[in-house]
């Protein structure tokens, strides 16, 4: 019997649920394989089961050089394979949910798995959870594209992949589902939540079937000795929140600093590895995922001062690994920081009040949840994941208290989480919806118009009236003799002066008419332009660079750009599927002169990135897709760093006349 899944929403939900089973199965296998890959590379690089024993038994220079060697290997893999495999992965999933309807390139699965396993195996101070989330989400996206899932369903399926990744890695299916909903989707609708739960459960069961039903950590039995412990746990929540803020700020500080270093991207991960290896020489606990050191914390096997030093050493080493271009997650480092913070504080209270305060191990466990909650702004996920690790209800009370306090403090001081901070730096606010972010992603400098009229600030009103009245312009810009921007005025403002033109002529100059402050900087985006248009009754806004007027952004161009982006993305969503099943050249008119069209990449485009070509600024045209023929035929959803190769076919979106200019470029 043939079932038509496309007739209504319920049948589409059944279809998603069945695909979620497949996603969970593959994600469970992927999590096991990824763990094995990490162990394989670790054994090859370090020739020992643990980093600590290896560092103590080998020459000092090897400890410094091995992480650098790992960075040297992953540099080309990421640069030439998939640049979105750099970093901790979750923001890239969020980006795909906002701008590409959950569509992720299939090759990210292999590139991320290889790069992250080498990075972690060679001693990179990062976690394995972020990579497996990105890997599983990429698998889910590929399955969704294969079965032609619509955008809303695709978003759910990608979130299901993320849930399956967390569930399979931590043996924690509930936490996996909550992570996907709390961090990625932000909605608990039954039609979206049930496929996520199913994928997470299937992934966890698959992982258990292969490697057994084991917790990620060896967790001690916990008891709440006294009600007086609540006070120290409140303090632990506050300190955990502050540690999370330091972690976020340090991570992006080093990302900026290392990004400015004039060194080829192929070599930067090696530099990061060299610095991490140097730290690891004295504190080998920071190398790799760090689960062994977390276990030692939970078992009260680390000293008071060592735990304190490891907090800052881990923040620094993780920031260096990711900031230099390494590949790995921030979830395990957050757990590490929480364990060390809890151990340090627990040691203080337990030493002074041994009969009424639990052991440092209990504080380590609660600290793990608190720092994760604060760093990710996902307290429910943090609470449930620690609960699933312990299977002990007694831990819930202090865990909830510390996690909520830490999360509340962090949100109050630092609005963005460690995930959304990366998006904000790109001009994207994840939780406010993709329509808003469309304008944030468009820069004013790409929509500058030279069709405007300018007056000098010393021009007399009589001259201004003679030139302005009866002309085609309704707004005017004013500059000084050095072309520095002074302000603007509207035609309506000028019309009031016409009857008294002769009387006022000698006394009023352009400087007197100028309304200051209605301006944009060169790097501002169109959302900022739209805010000004909403506040001021103007038809155009001056764009400044180094205080000088370089052009204007017109209201009609901003509205047109917004409508174009909406139409383009809706058309592209369907076009992705059509192109996967046909090799014919496509030209689609999407209204008002806009067109989506395939062209062969001109010779002058070869071996250049989309960022270098800057087609949006030069031709007001976007590259939606790239059809690659070598080494195998694939369809790529490009990023700004995507390199155009010989024989590539570009799918362009823009005005027909602008696309024609590109097709006329000599190949």
Q: Which domains does the chain have, with CATH numbers?
A: 9-211 (1.10.3080.10), 227-435 (1.10.3080.10), 444-558 (3.10.580.10), 582-663 (3.30.70.1450)
Mean pLDDT (whole number) for 220-239: 84
Give CA separation, 66 vs 55, 272, 317, 465, in Å.
11, 11, 15, 74
Residue 666 confidence (pLDDT) above 60? no
Select, from the ranges 405-409, 413-417, 468-472, the one with the highest average predicted confidence (pLDDT): 405-409
Closest CA to 169 of 32, 71, 289: 32
Give the torsion through C-alpha atoms of 96, 97, 101, 105, to 10 deg: 30
Tell me how far the alpha carbon of residue 110 is from its chain's centroid: 19
- Which comes out higher in pLDDT, residue 490 or 392? 490
Whether the Cβ atoms of residue 102 and residue 96 lie closer than 8 Å to each other: yes
| pLDDT given at position 432 | 47
For residues 381 and 200, is the Cβ–Cβ distance under 8 A? no
* pLDDT at residue 465 is higher than 60: yes
Question: 373-377, 589-593, 603-607 — which is least confidently predicted?
Answer: 589-593
Q: Where are the beta strands (DSSP E) in 454-564?
A: 454-456, 475-479, 485-490, 519-521, 540-545, 548-554
Residue matched to tokens 């369907």: 574
Residue 644 dihedral angles phi and psi, to the nearest 5°: -80, 130
The least confident of 189-193, 245-249, 341-345, 655-659 is 189-193
DSSP state at residue 242:
H
pLDDT for 635 equals 60
Q: Poorest-confidence range of 1-10, 361-370, 542-551, 625-634?
A: 1-10
Out of 82-96, 360-374, 434-448, pick the least confident.
434-448
Residue 141 is encoded by which pair of tokens? 């996206």
Question: Could you report how far apart the first and last alpha carbons of the chain are, in Å?
Answer: 53
* Rg of the chain taking only CA atoms, in angstroms: 28
Q: How far apart are alpha carbons 189 and 398 in whole angstroms?
A: 30
CA distances from 646 to 33, 469, 598, 628 (A): 35, 54, 15, 9
pLDDT in tens, 30-54: 999 999 999 999 999 998 778 888 8
Residue 667's pLDDT is 52
Q: State the pairing for strand pair 587-591/634-636.
A: unpaired
432-440: which pairs have CB atoms within 8 A and are 24 or more residues apart?
Answer: 434/98, 434/99, 435/566, 436/527, 437/98, 437/99, 438/562, 438/565, 438/566, 438/569, 439/525, 439/526, 439/527, 439/529, 439/530, 439/558, 439/561, 439/562, 440/525, 440/526, 440/527
Q: What is the pLDDT of residue 428?
A: 62
Give the pLDDT of residue 99. 65
Segment 546-551 mean pLDDT: 86
Both tokens of 456, joined, read: 């000098």
Greatest mean pLDDT among 379-388, 575-584, 594-603 lies in: 379-388
DSSP for 4-43 reads -TTSSHHHHHHHHHHHHHHHHHHHHHHHHHHHHHHHHHHH
**Backbone φ, ψ for residue 445 (5° rounding):** -65, -20
Write down the residue that tokens 């400015």 correspond to: 260
Question: Would the pLDDT of 433 be above 50?
Answer: no
What's the pLDDT at 637? 62
Q: What's the confidence (pLDDT) of residue 492?
A: 75
The yes-or-no verdict on residue 644 having pLDDT over 90 is no
Q: What share of the chain is helix, strand, coil (3-state, %, to 5)?
A: 65, 10, 25
- In 484-546, which residue ranges form alpha helices assigned H by DSSP? 491-495, 501-504, 510-513, 526-535
Choice between 207 and 214, residue whose per-residue pLDDT is larger: 207
pLDDT of residue 569: 58
Is the separation of the CB atoms in 449 and 554 below 8 Å? Answer: yes
Which of 359, 318, 320, 323 minimizes the C-alpha distance to 337? Answer: 318
Listing DSSP states for 376-439 in one string gives HT-HHHHHHHHHHHHT-GGGHHHHHHHHHHHHHHHHHH--S-TTHHHHHTTT--GGG-HHHHHH
| Beta-strand relationship, 634-636 and 622-628 | antiparallel
Q: What is the mean pLDDT of residues 268-280?
A: 93
**pLDDT on residue 3:** 37
Q: What is the DSSP string of 254-319?
A: HHHHHHHS-S-TTTHHHHHHHHHHHHHHH-GGGSSS-HHHHHHHHTT-S-HHHHHHHHHHHHHHHH
Contact 586, 598 (CB under 8 A): yes
Q: What is the pLDDT of residues 317-345, one digit of tens each?
A: 999 999 998 988 898 999 999 999 999 99
Q: What is the mean pLDDT of the chain?
A: 82
pLDDT winner (highest mean) among 68-77, 153-162, 521-530: 68-77
- Are the CB atoms for 417 and 376 separated by under 8 Å? yes
What is the structure's pLDDT at 581? 40
Does position 75 have pLDDT exceeding 50, yes or no? yes
Closest CA to 401 of 377, 366, 375, 362: 366
Q: Is residue 588 classed as helix, strand or coil in its secondary structure?
A: strand
Span 64-72, average pLDDT? 93
- Token duo for residue 164: 């399956």
Q: At residue 236, does pLDDT exceed 80?
A: yes
- Side-by-side strand order, sheet with 540-545: 519-521, 540-545, 548-554
583 pLDDT band, cuts 50/70/90, is very low
Portion of the chain with pLDDT greater than 70, in percent = 86
Spatial separation of the C-alpha atoms in residues 376 and 367, rounded to whole Å: 14
Task: Compare 355 and 25 and report the one with higher pLDDT.
Answer: 25
308 pLDDT higher than 90:
yes
Distance of alpha carbon 606 from the chain centroid: 28
Lowest mean pLDDT among 152-161, 265-274, 276-285, 467-476: 467-476
Is the distance from CB of 271 to CB of 311 less than 8 angstroms?
A: no
CA distance 170 to 387: 12
- What is residue 1's predicted lDDT score, i.e. its pLDDT? 33
Closest CA to 509 of 487, 541, 492: 487
**Residue range 60-67: average pLDDT?**
92
Give the mean pLDDT of 610-616. Answer: 79
At residue 572, does pLDDT exceed 60? no
Please state which of the ranges 271-275, 530-534, 582-586 shows the lowest mean pLDDT: 582-586
d(CA 427, CA 439): 9
Average pLDDT estimate for 549-577: 70
Q: Quick one: tokens of 121? A: 């195996």
pLDDT of residue 500: 64
SS3 523: coil
Instruction: Return the residue matching tokens 């690659």.
Output: 628
> What is the rounded distance in angstroms from the CA atom of residue 128 to the CA atom of residue 332?
7
Which secondary structure element, helix H or strand E, spans residue 650, and what is its range? strand 649-655
Mean pLDDT of the region 74-90: 84
């Amino acid at each position: 019997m043939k079932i038509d899944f496309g007739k209504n929403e319920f049948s589409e939900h059944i279809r998603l649920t069945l695909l979620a089973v497949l996603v969970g199965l593959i994600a469970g296998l992927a999590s096991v394989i990824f763990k094995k890959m990490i162990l394989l590379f670790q054994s090859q690089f370090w020739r020992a089961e643990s980093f600590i024993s290896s560092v103590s038994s080998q020459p000092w220079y090897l400890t410094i050089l091995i992480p650098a060697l790992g960075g040297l290997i992953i540099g080309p893999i990421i640069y030439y394979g998939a640049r979105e495999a750099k970093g901790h992965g979750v923001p890239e999933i969020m980006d795909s949910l906002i701008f590409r309807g959950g569509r992720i390139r299939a090759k990210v699965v292999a590139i991320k798995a290889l790069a992250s396993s080498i990075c972690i195996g060679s001693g990179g101070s990062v976690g394995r959870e972020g990579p497996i989330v990105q890997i599983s989400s990429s698998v889910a996206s590929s399955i969704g594209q294969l079965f032609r899932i619509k955008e809303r369903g695709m978003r759910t399926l990608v979130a299901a992949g993320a849930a399956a990744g967390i569930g399979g890695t931590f043996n924690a299916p509930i936490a996996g589902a909550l992570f996907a909903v709390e961090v990625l989707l932000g909605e608990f609708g039954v039609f979206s939540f049930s496929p996520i739960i199913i994928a997470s459960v299937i992934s966890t069961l698959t992982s258990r079937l292969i490697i057994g039903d084991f917790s990620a950590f060896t967790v001690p039995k916990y008891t709440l000795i006294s009600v007086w412990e609540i006070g120290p746990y409140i303090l632990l929540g506050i300190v955990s929140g502050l540690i999370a803020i330091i972690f976020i700020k340090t991570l992006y500080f080093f990302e900026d600093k290392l990004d400015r270093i004039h060194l080829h991207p192929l070599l930067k991960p090696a530099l990061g590895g060299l610095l991490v290896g140097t730290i690891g020489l004295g504190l080998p606990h920071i190398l790799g995922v760090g689960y062994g050191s977390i276990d030692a914390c939970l078992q009260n096997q680390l000293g008071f001062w060592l735990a304190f030093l490891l907090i800052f050493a881990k923040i620094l080493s993780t920031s260096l690994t990711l900031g230099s271009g390494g590949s790995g997650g921030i979830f395990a480092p957050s757990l590490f920081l929480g364990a060390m913070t809890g151990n340090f504080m627990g040691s203080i209270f337990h030493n002074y009040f041994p009969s009424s305060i639990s052991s440092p191990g209990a504080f380590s466990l609660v600290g793990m949840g608190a720092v994760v909650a604060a760093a990710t702004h996902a307290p429910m996920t943090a609470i449930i994941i620690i609960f699933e690790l312990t299977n002990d209800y007694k831990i819930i009370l202090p865990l909830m208290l510390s996690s909520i306090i830490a999360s509340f403090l962090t949100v109050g001081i630092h609005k963005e989480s460690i995930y959304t901070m990366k998006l904000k730096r790109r001009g994207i606010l994840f939780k406010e919806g993709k329509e808003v972010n469309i304008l944030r992603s468009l820069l004013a400098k790409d929509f500058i118009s030279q069709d405007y009229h300018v007056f000098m600030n010393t021009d007399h009103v009589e001259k201004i009236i003679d030139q302005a009245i009866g002309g085609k312009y309704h707004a005017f810009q004013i500059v000084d003799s050095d072309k520095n921007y002074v302000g603007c005025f509207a035609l309506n403002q000028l019309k009031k002066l016409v009857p008294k033109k002769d009387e006022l002529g000698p006394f009023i100059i352009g400087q007197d008419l100028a309304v200051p402050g209605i301006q944009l900087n060169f790097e501002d985006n169109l959302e900022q332009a739209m805010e000004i248009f909403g506040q001021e009754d103007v038809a155009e806004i001056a764009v400044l660079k180094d205080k000088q007027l370089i052009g204007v952004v017109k209201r009609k161009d901003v509205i047109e750009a917004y409508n174009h982006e909406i139409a383009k993305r809706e058309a592209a969503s369907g076009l992705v599927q059509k192109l996967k099943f046909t090799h014919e050249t496509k030209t689609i008119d999407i209204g008002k002169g806009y067109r989506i069209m395939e062209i062969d990449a001109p010779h002058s485009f070869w071996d250049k990135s989309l960022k270098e070509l800057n087609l949006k600024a030069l031709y007001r045209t976007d590259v939606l897709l790239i059809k690659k023929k070598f080494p195998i035929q694939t369809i790529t959803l490009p990023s700004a760093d995507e390199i155009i190769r010989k024989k590539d076919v570009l799918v362009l979106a823009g005005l027909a006349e602008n696309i024609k200019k590109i097709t006329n470029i000599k190949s």
